[in-house]
Amino acid sequence: MNDRAVFFEKDGTLVEDVRHGADPAKLKLLPGATDALSRLREAGYRLFIVSNEPGVARGKFREEALAPVVRRLEELLAEEGAAFEGFYYCPHDPEGRVRAYAVPCRCRKPSPGLIEDACREHDIDPLRSWMVGDVLDDVEAGRRAGCRTVMIDNGHETAWRRGPNRSPHLTVKNIAKAAELILLSAS
């Protein structure tokens, strides 16, 4: 049974960070993303995306606008054999202006709900899995879910609010190095 996975933040980790964007035409994979995902997949890791999408709660776009983004991302990655098994997202933001989404929830990172849902629905063992992201909220979500964590230090983390669940297991400069170190840890 293949019960290990790598969970990725979308913006700033797999694709260029476009603030609250839901335009599939603007999706651009970061250098090394497809190769990194292909290598992890070939090594037996199942791949998932876990993403906060506060643009929904903030009224920047409707939740339905995410489906074409997911399809485009699937196309870009599948072309290189780097397909992922699931896209989990949180549309909430307690400070949002769209009332239905301006609520506290268990899915908005740093809460671990997105990872926990994926693990439950796909029989994933979080203790054998990794969370890769570019901010400490990603790290905290991964640690709280029981995963090992990789922080891609690309300048997107600005607050550096430290805490017991906010120290990554590994810190790297890009997704290629993240994949390399995850693969080394498995050997």
Give how many domains the chain has, as a whole number. Answer: 1
Report pLDDT digits (tens) over 63-90.
999 999 999 999 999 877 888 999 999 9
Determine the residue type at 125: D
Q: Which of 15-19, 55-59, 143-147, 151-155 has the lowest mean pLDDT?
A: 15-19
Identify the CATH number of the domain in which residue 158 sits.
3.40.50.1000
Report pLDDT digits (tens) over 14-32.
999 876 678 899 899 999 9
Q: HSE on the CB side for 181, CA within 13 Å?
A: 18
Determine the residue type at 179: A
Average pLDDT (41-51) is 96
pLDDT above 60 for 169 = yes
d(CA 139, CA 131): 7
Give the domain extent around 70.
5-186
Local confidence band at 1 (pLDDT 50, 70, 90 cut-offs): low
What pTM did the predictor assign? 0.95
For 67, residues 6+ apart whose C-beta sits below 8 A from its C-beta are none
